[in-house]
Amino acid sequence: MNTVLAYYQHLGPALMALVLLTFLLAGTVKGVIGLGLPTIAMGLLGLAMAPAQAAALLIVPSALTNLWQLAFGGHLRGLLGRLWPMLLAIFLGTGAGALWLGMEGGPWVVRGLGAALLLYALSGLCLPALRLAARHEPWLGPLCGVLTGAITAATGVFVIPAVPYLQALGLQRDQLVQALGLSFSVSTLALAAGLAWGGALGGAELGASLLALVPALLGMWLGQWLRQRISAVLFKRVFFVGLGLLGAHLLVSG
């Protein structure tokens, strides 16, 4: 605990407040639309700290909220049987990306994070509803998995191209929510392994990430409450617009 407190004291009051508010907001968005926690966390924290440090903080909140998401729905066995090539490719792609690219810092990593956020926002705002023919899944699933893994290793963002691919499979709503939780869980575990291998994820970082779980869960509760009272479609559109602006800022400023 002393190590964790020292970690936050080292961040200082301003950065500590940013971490808490970021995970509160990210949890709220996830509570409303079912995704967005790691994406928002990486985007906002990337404004003030190295991407590897931001990625280390999101490990516990992302892992536990996604495990919770995939645990309910009753479709886990069927989804595993259908998606395992993509999931394996995500894990291997993240590992290869950690060895080859990593998140060592520097302007190119921040710009890569901005590009990933902007691309995801544009896909959410502009990409029409796609439907993928089943005959393309055997090769396109692993390809999307490898690309998702490489982007995850470089930026900490694991939604491109995994989310558009899963949305194109024609899954029922409950199946899609569970499939997203499954994909995000594998990505989070693979990212944690890559960060640990690179020395960016130790006991202090895990402890600090565990504390970040509190505002994330509070935000999820708030988001679930809001979901009953606001338009999820409008909220999602605002989310993508805000994410796109944030991504554009990171891409330009580096």
Distance separating alpha carbons of residues 152 and 144, to the nearest angstrom? 12
User: Distance between CA 159 and CA 165 in Å, rounded?
Assistant: 10
48-71 residue pLDDT tens: 888 888 889 999 999 998 887 777
**pTM, to two decimals:** 0.85
Please name the residue that has the structure tokens 């009051």: 13
Domain residues for the domain of 221 are 2-253
- Total domains present in the chain: 1
Return the H-helix or E-strand segment holding 236.
Answer: helix 232-253
Q: What are 64-121's pLDDT values in tens digits? A: 988 877 777 778 899 999 999 999 999 999 988 887 766 555 567 778 878 888 888 8
